[in-house]
Amino acid sequence: MCGRYVSATPPDQVAAYFASEAPEALLVPSYNVAPTKDVYAVVSDGSTRHVDAFHWGLIPLWAKEAKIGSRMINARAETLAEKNAYKSAFKRRRCLIPADGFYEWQKNAEDPKKGKKQPFFIHRPDGEPYAFAGLWEVWRGPERDQEPLRSCTIITTTPNEPMAQIHDRMPVILPPSAWDTWLDREVDDLELLGKLLVPADPSLIVMHPVSTEVNNVRNDAPSLTDEVAPGP
């Protein structure tokens, strides 16, 4: 899964990288983005890309309460076309979620049921941001009289070789060559779209152990990404 990541690049730089218009709502840079927080996502209106703020945790159109989004921070690539919560968005409402890197936790190798998990920070070797494949939705509530809430989810897939050393899932990372197809709302060929949802090239993955301070969502500082000696 992908449950924490870093979003600290200034929004104007994010917009430039994705050839998008900059966001109107500015978010505070974070080195420990947690579920249910507002995050940046890149969407397209058919002619222009935009960077906008979305609630992390997709809230389906049919949901009675917004809190269901806390259980939908990730969507498995293998079942997008089948799940009621995602299949409509998979056809028409896809996005890119920029990330400077993400965290994943490795279980104790000797006894997975015991001991603290070791967190790792994963990032690109060139320092450029990842483009996570995502879906977005607009929820208006059961009474239809409240302010629309835009939400998103990060799509995950099976791990590539380096990621398999620490976890059995990883976010789908889309290369620039796939961005136009993924964001195009006129593309609804699910077989074509599904072929994009594959493990990233191993060359895009660099990782190192970091402090368990990242476990606490209240901790948020650049030092969270610093390399430390791994635990036992």
Of the candidates 2, 95, 137, 152, the residue annotated as catalytic is 2
**In the 8-state DSSP scheme, what is residue 1?**
-
**Rounded (10°) CA dihedral 162, 167, 171, 176:** 0
**In the 8-state DSSP scheme, what is residue 162?**
H
CA separation (Å) from 217 to 1, 28, 29, 206?
A: 17, 14, 14, 23
Burial class (CB in 10 A: 0-12, 13-18, 19+), 112: exposed
Of the candidates 78, 82, 104, 191, the residue annotated as catalytic is 104
- Of 70, 1, 4, which Cα lies nearest the Cα of 215? 4
**Residue 2 designated active-site:** yes
**Residue 78 designated active-site:** no
**3-class DSSP state for residue 191?**
helix
Longest dimension (CA), the chain: 54
By annotation, the residues acting in catalysis are 2, 104
